Structure 1
């Protein structure tokens, strides 16, 4: 279902949730933000793929449990969206905080994962981060990744400064905010992030967090 077009410069959002009342509530909240606009909704994976193809959103807000009630439908959809539309950021918004689900969502291409009891400010911040091609995890979901991958015994391959950058990436901070925390320029942060991705052989910030957790360095 199409809502309406978004003026230039707006973050275009598609909502994927099988509960209409949830979509209505999210639309009401997000459309109050000057830089955000909900441009489409879907309640099934098939509808979601069609709406995304038609509306070209910046961000898809995705519940993992859709009409079938199975986790795999949302996870499969996440993977299809990120493979067919790599320019679109998928942010999981779900009721379930399960370590395995968080990790698999990242493996399937999600840029972030938040739980539905998140407050409005944090949700909006997460959407904006994903729109900037950044990963975003609150403290609970970041901890879930760490718990799931802590068993690895590999030694860290990152420098002390790079480890600090990874830790701040796991908290969902932007390059600008990381630079402010570490007293370095945003350009220097981008340099570190590129090096980290090269060393860990990954392509996204979310994968950085996942691989660093697997190495046990978070």
Structure 2
């Protein structure tokens, strides 16, 4: 049903029928009436046009590898869509989920299906607006709550204030700007490669960059105050 005053956008779920519980479907319909949910059984079906602009594609874990192989086709049909992983069982699939996200080149968020309806709607709404969401519990304890930068530690970056980045994110961004890869950064900072990848997702989102290369270029061009002075 069309909703006046707001352009409809589509969420394409690539998963077995019934993967999205009714309570979550109802929450979406009630809170986001302009978002149309399409459920398809396979990635090939998702690589087609839909009546609405596709803004979000949610993949069942079994659909991730086919989606990786079909990434060019997905991008051709849905260039504006974020791609997220449906976490089907938080208790039993934690390790599997980490491995899937860490090895993926296309996943930009994680949507837990065991969430409460209002939490699920909030996550989906955030991703529909272009945000990349990963639950805090998926980060290592060390990386969960780094202290925010103080006001005196402002760095200007092409008009952007890096105070929105945490200390850990600044450290990682500096290492990325030196050309280091995730595995090397993880070893230097005693983090998992997965945690580094999540931090990079957050850095790119906060800076409004398109990818790690652009974020690193912004950082290099800014000639910021050395991090040793900033981080004390």
Q: TM-score range by the shorter chain?
A: 0.5 to 0.7
Q: Cα–Cα, structure 1 residues 33 and 163, in superposed 2: closer, same or farther, change >3 Å?
A: closer
Q: Post-superposition shift, 1:14?
A: 2.0
Kept in 1, the 8 Å contact 2:8–2:36? The answer is: no
State the match for 1:57 in structure 2: 54
C-alpha distance in 2, partners of 1:165/1:132?
Answer: 26
C-alpha distance in 1, partners of 2:50/2:8?
Answer: 18
State the match for 2:31 in structure 1: 33
State the match for 2:132 in structure 1: 135
Q: Post-superposition shift, 1:59?
A: 1.6
Q: How does 1:153-172 map to 2 (within 5 A)?
A: 161=163, 163-164=165-166
State the match for 2:194 in structure 1: none
Q: Post-superposition shift, 1:11?
A: 4.2
SS in 1 for 2:101: helix
Structure 1 residue ranges without an equivalent (≥5) = 148-158, 174-188, 203-218
Q: How does 1:91-106 map to 2 (within 5 A)?
A: 91-95=84-88, 96-97=93-94, 98-105=97-104
Q: Cα–Cα, structure 1 residues 165 and 125, in superposed 2: closer, same or farther, change >3 Å?
A: farther
C-alpha distance in 2, partners of 1:196/1:41?
Answer: 29
State the match for 2:11 in structure 1: 13
C-alpha distance in 2, partners of 1:46/1:99?
Answer: 25
Aligned residues: 164
Q: TM-score, normalised by structure 2?
A: 0.53
Kept in 2, the 8 Å contact 1:6–1:39? The answer is: no
Q: Cα–Cα, structure 1 residues 33 and 44, in superposed 2: closer, same or farther, change >3 Å?
A: same
Q: TM-score, normalised by structure 1?
A: 0.56
State the match for 1:178 in structure 2: none
C-alpha distance in 2, partners of 1:27/1:130?
Answer: 16
Q: Post-superposition shift, 1:58?
A: 1.8
Q: Post-superposition shift, 1:86?
A: 2.5
Q: Cα–Cα, structure 1 residues 115 and 199, in superposed 2: closer, same or farther, change >3 Å?
A: same
Q: Post-superposition shift, 1:35?
A: 4.5
Find out whether 1:112 has 2:109 as its counterpart.
Answer: yes
Q: Post-superposition shift, 1:101?
A: 0.8
Q: Post-superposition shift, 1:193?
A: 4.7
C-alpha distance in 2, partners of 1:65/1:47?
Answer: 15
C-alpha distance in 2, partners of 1:142/1:86?
Answer: 29
Q: Cα–Cα, structure 1 residues 27 and 195, in superposed 2: closer, same or farther, change >3 Å?
A: closer
Kept in 2, the 8 Å contact 1:60–1:89? The answer is: yes
State the match for 1:46 in structure 2: 44
